Chain A
Amino acid sequence: MIDDEVLAGHQQELRRGTVVMAALATLETPGYGYGLLAVLEKSGLSVDANTLYPLLRRLEKQGLLAAEWDTTESRPRKMYKTSDAGRNLLGTLEAEWNHLATSLNALRSEESNPHLKELP
């Protein structure tokens, strides 16, 4: 059987980039940090709080998220919204994601495997 630690390491590596896509996609509707955390949790893409909050700040610094403090509620919260640049990046990443999925599926299908045996 696969070592639990090895499995967890590979899963983490695979998921790392998907958090950015998930955040950019979800925040098309404006939201704040904890709201995003809860939505991702519910949709099965659970992220640690101490990963997500700094990530949001990084995306804001890169201009992929627009942010402003919302002071209408009982206490201030930082509201995030995907910017135009963020939307573009999300499109590019999704195309890349689909391309990877297609390539992987092609590798998994039987016809392509004989190529490997034909290699010198």
Chain B
Amino acid sequence: MSTLSSRYITAVSRSVPESQRSDVEAEVAAAIEDLTEARLAAGSTPEDAERAVLLELGDPMRLAADYSNKPLYLIGPDHFPTYIRLLKILAATVLPVIGVAVMLGSFLSGGDAGEIISGGIIAVMGVALHIFFWTTLIFAIIERSPDSKQIRAKWDPSTLPDTPPGGVRLGDTLAAVLVALVGIIYLPWQHFSSPFRDANGEPIPTLNAELWPVWIPLLMAGLLATAVLEIFRYRAGGWSWRFVAVNTVLELVVAVPLIWLAATNTLLEPRFVTELVGHGWADAALHLNVSVIVITAGVVTWNLIDPLRKVRIDTAARAKHPRPLG
């Protein structure tokens, strides 16, 4: 037997469990000799015959897997649905928590905007790789354990997600309008009502008094427009691409100034902060600014993504059950 054939036999037997090794080796050797002999009888040269036979038997790893009944895949159809569901759940829960926690930590320890964002992205990517690797490894091991078919998760119809109905619930609209109105009332109210008074007995506002000519009216106008948009959206029976465009502009009109003012420490009235520090809250400005940034960023991200998810559903629902405007 030539070296090519014995190399092939070694390659097959290496991928077969120890207990079957000598038997499989003998079988493959006999098969190669029989097949080669038949080709020689048909008139090919020994080299051509051997080459053709090895090509016919194919990849040694594949042949070994056929002999020992081992899977040629990492995760098979028995466990794949569970594997994908688990990956999705982990990605949706762990990654946002890690991202926010790392960015918050970086902000509190005095990192600049670039450090905070790049640190957050790198941490999320690292954790995502870990989740993917370890989940895949565990499922690959389960796939290869002898009784793995019995631990396959039972599927039940009650776990099906609800079909999104489309359209808007009145409660959602009222809640959104109420939140906008609270904001619109709070902005002027905080200027005249405060727990702290200055030397002349005038109330010390919470927000920087210098924001009045431009920023505060802008925020109020943005909130008012949001409330109006919500009412129109309710009457139209859900999102349309036009509403999505207007919503995006309004969200940014409110969120960008708020985040920028907080990040540059110009949102809060300096005298108000001084009072808080005087009452023992040493890092009041830092804590309040971070809270404003994190909450605003979170809310605006959700408000930008959510309509994109719903716009198709709503459009489809409207096409199926058209409802009169007004």
Measuring CB to CB, which residues of chain A are less than 8 angstroms from any residue of chain B?
A: 32-34, 38, 48-51, 53-54, 57-58, 69, 75-78
Contacts and interface: CB of A to CB of B under 8 A. Distances in A.
Given A34-B35, A38-B38, A57-B67, A50 B30 contact: no
Interface string B57-92: 110001100110100000000000000000000000
Interface footprint category on B: 10 to 19
Contact of A49 (B24, B33, B35, B62): B35
A50 B27 contact: no
Contacts of B66: 50-51, 54
Contacts of B316: none
Q: Tell me whether chain A's interface is mostly helix, strand or loop, or mixed.
A: helix
Contacts of A34: 31, 34-35, 38
Contacts of B57: 49-50
B58 A50 contact: yes
Contact of B34 (A33, A51, A54, A57): A33
Contacts, number: 45
A53 B27 contact: yes
A84 to B, nearest CB: 23
B26 A69 contact: yes
Contacts of B35: 34, 49
B106 to A, nearest CB: 54
Given A49-B56, A50-B62, A57-B27, 9 more contacts: A32-B34, A34-B38, A50-B57, A53-B28, A53-B31, A54-B63, A57-B24, A75-B33, A77-B34
Nearest to A48: B56
A58 B69 contact: yes
A76 B30 contact: yes
A50 B56 contact: yes
B63 A50 contact: yes
Contacts of B38: 34, 38
13 contacts: A34-B34, A38-B38, A49-B35, A49-B56, A50-B62, A50-B63, A51-B66, A53-B27, A53-B28, A57-B24, A57-B27, A58-B69, A75-B30
A54 B31 contact: no
A11 B67 CA distance: 24
A33 B30 contact: yes
A50 B24 CA distance: 13
A91 B122 CA distance: 64
Nearest to B58: A50
Nearest to A58: B69
Contacts of A48: 56
A49 to B, nearest CB: 5
A116 to B, nearest CB: 28
A77 B30 contact: yes
